[in-house]
């Protein structure tokens, strides 16, 4: 934990150095399937349609770096079909290393619109238009890996949603060490929870990886590692192709189930300590913050703090709380 970092900047300010460079994705603009910034490769052999998604949030560079790297290697699937997609490209076009948090989205969060009601509804935005354009493609995907990063230097997390099939897939990949099983956000549905992905009866599957801090060099290596492990799992690439970039597997994987979200109710929320996420608070009743004058305490022993936010605003999720359920 780093107290100095905690003190720099006000709520929402960027406290962390930008170590990564935003890749030039313009060479991928034309794509090859009629959707800009989407490339799809069919092996001609039976197998699942795999999709790798980056830039679902326009300020999360590691996904773009992993996909750019993969495309520059000339990756082609050994079986099935592989789609490599840069998602919210309009938001990414606004990325500015001097104000790196600003390009998360254009009008609204692209990763909160993935319900039929919203996609088929009357609301309009730049981000929603892009989601509508990509929806038929996403409908044809058998397994999705959506690559993200986080505000704080939290250890990498695989976000599995609520289905046993996604948890099993994450355990099958062997990394990262932390798996989070959750119901998503009240603000709207994520792509990883869209349609059949969230239906336990469907074989379709999706994972969302949070690779580390948005601007940290290590996040890009985690994104490439996760991408390769995902492709290896489905037999889409050779071990020899992946081996030079694979990190050692963690000794074990820990599964945390989200039990509740702490939603900010006042105009003045503050954490009791500079949490970065995945801290395990031993004792129930430990005060982790104050919402106005109201203390916020952990509800049970060994409570895990998941992705505390820097966007301290009324109505936002300050942090989610989780219980360790196994590995």
Task: List residues near Zn ion by CB under 5 A.
Answer: 57, 60, 148
Q: Is 26 helix (H, G, I), strand (E, B) or coil?
A: helix
Question: In the complex, what is the shortest distance from the CB of residue 182 to Zn ion, in angstroms, rounded to a whole number?
Answer: 14
Closest contact distance (angstroms) between CB of 167 and Zn ion is 20
Identity of the residue, 60 or 68, whose beta carbon is nearer to Zn ion in the bound complex: 60
Q: Which residue has the tokens 């996909």?
A: 67
Q: What is the number of the residue whose Cβ is closest to Zn ion?
A: 148
- Long-range contact pairs involving 106-113 (C-beta distance under 8 Å, separation at least 24): 106/58, 109/57, 109/187, 109/188, 110/56, 110/57, 110/58, 111/56, 111/57, 111/146, 111/188, 111/190, 111/191, 112/185, 112/187, 112/188, 112/189, 112/190, 113/188, 113/189
Closest to Zn ion by CB, 73 vs 99, is 99
d(CA 289, CA 66): 36
Instruction: Report CA Rg, the chain.
Output: 19
What is the CB neighbour count within 10 angstroms for residue 266?
Answer: 11
Q: How far is the CB of 103 from Zn ion (least distance, A)?
A: 12
Contact by Cβ (8 Å): 78, 238: yes
3-state class of 186 per DSSP?
A: coil
Residue number with CB closer to Zn ion (182 or 291): 182
d(CA 301, CA 282): 5
CB-nearer residue toward Zn ion: 57 or 165: 57
Straight-line distance from the first to the last Cα atom of the chain, in angstroms, rounded to the nearest whole number: 25
Q: Name the minimum Å distance from CB 200 to Zn ion.
A: 25
Q: Which is nearer to Zn ion, 105 or 141 (CB)?
A: 105
Q: Which is nearer to Zn ion, 48 or 212 (CB)?
A: 212
Minimum CB separation of residue 60 from Zn ion in Å reads 5
Please state the closest distance from residue 326 (CB atom) to Zn ion, in A. 26
């Amino acid at each position: 934990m780093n107290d100095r970092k905690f003190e720099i900047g006000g709520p929402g300010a960027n406290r962390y150095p930008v170590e990564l460079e935003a890749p030039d994705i313009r060479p991928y603009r034309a794509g090859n399937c009629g959707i800009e910034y989407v490339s799809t490769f069919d092996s001609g052999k039976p197998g699942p349609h795999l999709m790798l998604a980056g830039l679902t949030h326009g300020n999360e560079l590691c996904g773009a770096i992993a996909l750019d790297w993969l495309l520059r290697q000339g990756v082609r699937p050994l079986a099935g079909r592989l789609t490599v997609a840069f998602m919210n490209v309009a938001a990414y076009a606004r990325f500015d290393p001097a104000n790196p948090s600003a390009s998360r989205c254009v009008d609204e969060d692209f990763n909160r619109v993935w319900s039929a009601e919203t996609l088929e509804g009357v609301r309009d935005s730049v981000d929603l238009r892009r989601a509508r354009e990509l929806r038929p493609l996403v409908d044809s995907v058998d397994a999705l890996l959506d690559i993200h990063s986080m505000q704080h230097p939290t250890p990498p997390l695989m976000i599995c949603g609520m289905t046993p099939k996604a948890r099993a897939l994450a355990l099958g990949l062997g990394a990262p060490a932390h798996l989070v099983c959750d119901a998503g956000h009240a603000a709207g549905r994520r792509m990883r929870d869209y349609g059949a992905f969230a239906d336990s009866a469907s074989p379709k599957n999706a994972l969302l990886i949070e690779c580390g801090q948005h601007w940290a060099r290590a996040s890009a290596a985690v994104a490439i590692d996760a991408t390769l492990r995902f492709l290896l799992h489905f037999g889409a690439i050779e071990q020899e192709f992946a081996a030079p970039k694979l990190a050692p597997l963690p000794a074990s994987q820990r599964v945390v189930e989200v039990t509740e979200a702490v939603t900010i109710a006042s105009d003045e929320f503050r954490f009791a300590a500079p949490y970065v996420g995945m801290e395990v608070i031993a004792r129930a009743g430990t005060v982790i913050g104050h919402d106005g004058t109201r203390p916020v305490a952990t509800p049970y022993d060994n409570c895990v703090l998941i992705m505390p936010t820097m966007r301290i605003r009324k109505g936002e999720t300050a942090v989610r709380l989780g219980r360790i359920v196994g590995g």
